[in-house]
Amino acid sequence: MFKNIAIGQYYPGNSFIHRLDPRTKIVATFAFIVCLFLVRRSGYAAVSLIAALLVLVSRIPAKFVVRGLRPVLYIALLTFLLNAFITPGHPLVRIGPLVMTYEGFCQGVFLVWRLVLLVLITSFLTLTTPPVTLTDGIERLLRPYRRLGVPAHELAMMMTIALRFIPTLLEETEKIMKAQMARGADFESGNIIQKAKNLIPLLVPLFVSAFRRADELAVAMEARCYHGGDSRTRLKELHYSTGDYLVYGFTGLMFAAVLYTRR
């Protein structure tokens, strides 16, 4: 299950989206997320079409993208059921004391749709951008705020390291679970409280491993005389291309169209 999570992973490629400047992809991703919460329900068909075009243009296999959405299915199912049975309205299905309403059903489908698009677009940022390039992009975007005391390089480094170690920690979790299951541990049976108690033997070694990796990373950075972003040079400097300006223009038009439909 943990291998199916796409956030934090990088899929090598040479597509149009892969070649974009990381600053362009970061700004476009945040603009798309804002549009997801502002657009009306009637506009979600167009938003879904844009997401499908991103999959085609990025040349990332559709199976890989769909596999990355599997861990979200449980949250999506819970979101749908809560909205379907709690939202008041016209009764649609009755299951004992629970009543699914038509308004709740529509609201649940809408929120699940939004959740899937949100995870899909967010995962595209890391799938098409190497961690080092993503760090440079975040730092360049935060550089104007250094006059206000914002540690641009430190924040960019922390966010990138966090994204980079998501797959590593998930792989470590899976290894610990398999090792403890081979010794007789049971993570499946019992109610929710019992399952939560069964996770305690898993969390302790996971935290120990995470702190050990953090300490090893700190020692490695100090051994290489790492001093942050001051006076550091880069092998590849960031430069905008024609494609970046086209994406900025399309993002601006999309944002303007969403704001216009809200009037």
Question: pLDDT, tens digit, for every residue of 125-136?
Answer: 888 888 778 888
Query: DSSP letters along 174-226, please?
Result: HHHHHHHHHTT--SSSS-HHHHHHHTHHHHHHHHHHHHHHHHHHHHHHHHTT-
Q: DSSP alpha helices (H): ranges in the chain?
A: 22-38, 44-58, 62-69, 73-86, 102-127, 131-142, 152-182, 192-198, 200-223, 242-261
Given this model, what pLDDT does residue 253 score? 92
How many CA atoms does the CB half-sphere of 85 hold within 13 Å? Answer: 12
The pTM is what? Answer: 0.74
Distance (Å, whole) CA 128 – CA 23: 13
What one-letter code names the amino acid at 166?
A: I
- Name the more confident of 187 and 147: 147
Distance (Å, whole) CA 174 – CA 47: 35
pLDDT tops 60 at residue 2: no
CA 27 remoteness from chain centre: 15
Using pLDDT thresholds of 50, 70 and 90, give the confidence band for residue 28.
very high
Distance (Å, whole) CA 158 – CA 131: 11
Contact between residue 109 and residue 48 where contact means Cβ atoms under 8 Å apart: no
Mean pLDDT throughout 14-27? 91
What one-letter code names the amino acid at 115?
A: L
pLDDT 10s digits, 203-216: 888 888 888 888 88
Closest CA to 204 of 177, 167, 184: 177
Given this model, what pLDDT does residue 29 score? 92
Given this model, what pLDDT does residue 231 score? 62
Distance (Å, whole) CA 77 – CA 83: 10
The DSSP output letter for 124 is H
Given this model, what pLDDT does residue 25 score? 93
pLDDT 10s digits, 41-85: 778 888 889 888 888 888 888 777 777 777 788 888 888 888 888
Using pLDDT thresholds of 50, 70 and 90, give the confidence band for residue 26.
very high
On average, the pLDDT of the chain sits at 82
